[in-house]
């Protein structure tokens, strides 16, 4: 029993060495922390209360994963960072009241400021889209670990973020696609020490299984507050 416990602890330490492993851990904690609440003043609906700080911590780990793709993700990475900072500043004004994302969205909906260029609602929408992109990319990779990386990134972008980007951002992304690393390079930088492709694939599957329900709930919340179709300013 003692040996088995030690082996499990060692496996846990190993998983924490990779960005994927850290993302799995953070998302697992977020899943535990979620609670069901009922909205007021909007049609009564059961929605998930998303704790803000764990959600932002996970988004920061997403940035680390996207960094592995290289300069191609520079614009998206900067956008994620700015949106995280915007939500963190709101949290700092009242850590108790704004401990969950729903309260922030409710506040801006009540004030009529949700769709303003610098709103926290808009920041949440773009963080959601960044996670949509990440999910789409991971799903393509886990389906075929040998597929062309540039194609996987482009298809993921086209299906998740491109419909909401302006032509300047789209053009910049198209140019940056030429800098995407090959598949082997990307998988190798994602892997921990002595971690096989199969182990990376298993980790990606675990992350996907946690990310899908989170994004489903987040999409529902954004739709409830009618901000899910906001385009870039």
Predicted local distance difference test score (pLDDT) of residue 48: 61
Tokens 């489903």 sit at which residue? 216
Predicted local distance difference test score (pLDDT) of residue 215: 94
Per residue in 60-75, pLDDT tens?
988 888 888 877 788 7
**CA distance to 16, 116, 164, per residue, from 26 (Å):** 10, 30, 28
> Is the model's pLDDT at 26 over the cut of 90?
no
Q: Which of 21-30, 52-61, 204-213 has the lowest mean pLDDT?
A: 21-30
Which tops the pLDDT comparison, 225 or 71?
225
What angle, 0 to 180 degrees and rounded to 10, lies between the N-to-C axes of helices 2-16 and 19-33? 110
Domains and CATH numbers, the chain: 50-225 (1.10.3520.10)
Which tops the pLDDT comparison, 227 or 4?
227
CA 135 to chain centre: 8
Selection from 35, 55, 60 nearest residue 47 by Cα: 35
Sequence length of the chain is: 233
How far is it, in rounded angstroms, from Cα 58 to Cα 128?
12
Question: What per-residue string of b and e applies to 147-163 under the rule 16 or more CB within 10 Å gives b?
Answer: eebbebbbebbeebbee
33 pLDDT band, cuts 50/70/90, is: low
Residues 12/16/21/27 CA torsion (nearest 10 deg): 90
Which tops the pLDDT comparison, 186 or 154?
154
How far is it, in rounded angstroms, from Cα 212 to Cα 207?
9
Predicted local distance difference test score (pLDDT) of residue 4: 43
How far is it, in rounded angstroms, from Cα 89 to Cα 22?
24
Give one DSSP letter per residue of 53-111, joined into a string. HHHHHHHHHHHHHHHTT-GGGHHHHHHHHHHHHHHHHHHHH-TTTTSBHHHHHHHHHHH
Residues 210/213/217/220 CA torsion (nearest 10 deg): 140
Which tops the pLDDT comparison, 26 or 122?
122
115 pLDDT band, cuts 50/70/90, is: very high
Per residue in 161-190, pLDDT tens?
999 998 888 888 888 888 888 888 888 888
Predicted local distance difference test score (pLDDT) of residue 187: 82
- Under 8 Å CB-to-CB from 135, ≥6 apart: which residues? 208, 211, 212, 215
> Is the model's pLDDT at 127 over the cut of 80?
yes
Q: Phi and psi dihedrals of 98, rounded to 5?
A: -100, 35
114 pLDDT band, cuts 50/70/90, is: very high
Q: Which of 12-16, 30-34, 142-146, 174-178 has the lowest mean pLDDT?
A: 12-16
> Is the model's pLDDT at 37 over the cut of 60?
no
How far is it, in rounded angstroms, from Cα 22 to Cα 30?
12
126 pLDDT band, cuts 50/70/90, is: very high
């Amino acid at each position: 029993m003692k040996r088995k416990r030690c082996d499990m602890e060692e496996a846990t330490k190993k998983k924490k060495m990779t960005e994927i492993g850290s993302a799995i851990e953070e998302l697992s904690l977020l899943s535990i922390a979620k609670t069901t609440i009922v909205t007021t003043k909007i049609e009564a609906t059961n929605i998930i209360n998303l704790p803000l700080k764990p959600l932002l911590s996970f988004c920061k780990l997403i940035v680390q994963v996207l960094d592995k793709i290289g300069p191609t993700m520079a614009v998206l990475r900067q956008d994620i960072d700015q949106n995280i900072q915007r939500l963190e500043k709101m949290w700092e004004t009242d850590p108790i009241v704004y401990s969950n994302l729903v309260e922030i969205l409710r506040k801006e909906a009540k004030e009529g400021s949700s769709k303003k260029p610098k709103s926290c609602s808009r920041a949440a929408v773009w963080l959601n889209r960044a996670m949509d992109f990440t999910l789409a990319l991971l799903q393509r990779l886990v389906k075929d670990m040998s597929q062309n990386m540039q194609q996987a990134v482009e298809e993921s972008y086209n299906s998740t973020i491109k419909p909401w980007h302006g032509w300047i951002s789209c053009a910049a992304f198209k140019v940056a696609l030429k800098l995407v690393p090959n598949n082997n390079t990307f998988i190798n930088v994602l892997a921990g020490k002595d971690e096989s492709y199969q182990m990376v694939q298993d980790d990606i599957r675990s992350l996907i299984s946690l990310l899908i329900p989170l994004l489903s709930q987040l999409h529902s919340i954004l739709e409830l507050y009618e901000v899910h179709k906001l385009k870039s300013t």
